[in-house]
Amino acid sequence: MSSERLQKILAAAGIASRRHSEALITAGRVKVNGEVVTALGAKADADTDKIEVDGRLVSVAPIRSYYLLNKPRGYLSTCFDPQGRKTVLELVPFTPGLHPVGRLDRDTSGLLILTNDGAFTEDLTHPRHGVPKTYLAEVKGRPDTPAVERLRTGVRLEGGTTLPARVEVVDRRKDTTVLAITIREGRNRQVRRMAEAVGFPVIRLERAAIGDLTVGELPPGQFRPLTDGEVASLRKAAKKGTAHG
């Protein structure tokens, strides 16, 4: 194999997405042949060079794993928590390089994908791909038509106005309302911030779908491998989003 950019090698090895791999490099966590490398333009040969991340040797040809997890509330979508709190990796089999694709905050439940395929993670999380993600948000009160329309057309948040979203009223209860909100962005706590901005804060949030993939009948806390067809469908959704971006 000829020399390639280091971040590309790390992504291909399933260490992280290419963007996260760049952050690992600039943070001084990557070594090539025993030397710390911090330059993003650095190259290496995965066949002949010894590449390490945090002291662990990088395998360039791992077995690819793809899991769908119905994340319960109370778990962090991270690989490690220095405070010792529960993480989603405790709910799936140990697999080298496995990491969550994007994040659901601790109090959000629902569909979470985990993989050791960095390129796949990049496909699903990079903003240019715009893979749709649907959430069921139970909010306080009863949002009126103007509030729902604001969610649909764009809400001004720190960092800019959100892109148009698909919003449907699923259920109106005595003191709360359930909304189905589909977004193509991945800002931090975006749905919660959108609802708060229009005056109807979220009290319960669940991710119901990524593209056409749903949790189906999978109970909270349980996982299953993605089928080859599901992986292919998600890749296709990412390419479609890029084409229409």
Catalytic residue chosen out of the listed positions 81, 105, 144, 212: 105
> pLDDT tens digits for 214-223?
999 999 999 9
DSSP 87: B
Average pLDDT of span 98-118: 93
8 A C-beta contact, residue 44 and residue 52: no
Domain 133-210 is of which CATH architecture? 2-Layer Sandwich (3.30)
pLDDT at 63: 79
Average pLDDT of the segment spanning 128-156 = 94
Average pLDDT of 54-70? Answer: 86
228 part of the active site:
no
Which residues 6+ apart lie within 8 Å of 230 measured at CB? 66, 68, 213
Domain map (residue ranges) of the chain? 4-57, 66-127+215-243, 133-210
**Cβ neighbours, 10 Å, residue 48:** 9
The pairing of strands 35-36 and 30-32 is: antiparallel
pLDDT, averaged across the chain: 90
Rounded distance, CA 212 to CA 205, Å? 19
The pLDDT of 51-68, averaged and rounded, is 85
pLDDT at 159: 86
245: confidence class by pLDDT, cuts 50, 70, 90: very low
User: With 90 as the cut, is the pLDDT of residue 59 above it?
Assistant: no
Residue 165 — φ and ψ, nearest 5°? Answer: -125, 155
Rg (CA), the chain: 20
Least confidently predicted of 13-27, 101-115, 153-167, 188-202: 13-27
Residue range 4-57 in CATH 3.10.290.10 = yes
- At residue 1, the pLDDT reads 52
CB under 8 A, 24+ apart: contacts of 140-143: 140/175, 140/176, 140/200, 140/201, 140/203, 141/175, 141/176, 141/177, 141/199, 141/200, 142/172, 142/177, 143/169, 143/177, 143/179, 143/198, 143/199, 143/200
SS3 label, residue 19 = helix
pLDDT at 243 over 70: no
Amino acid at 185: E
Asked if pLDDT for residue 228 goes beyond 50, the answer is yes
Q: Find the helix packing angle between 190-197 and 145-153, rounded to 10°.
A: 140
For residue 98, pLDDT beyond 90: no
Distance of alpha carbon 3 from alpha carbon 43, whole angstroms: 6
CATH number, domain 66-127+215-243: 3.30.70.580
Residue 175 half-sphere exposure toward CB, CA atoms < 13 A: 2
Segment 172-176 mean pLDDT: 94
Do the domains 4-57 and 66-127+215-243 sit in the same CATH topology, yes or no? no
| Sheet (strand 30-32) strand order | 35-36, 30-32, 51-53, 56-57
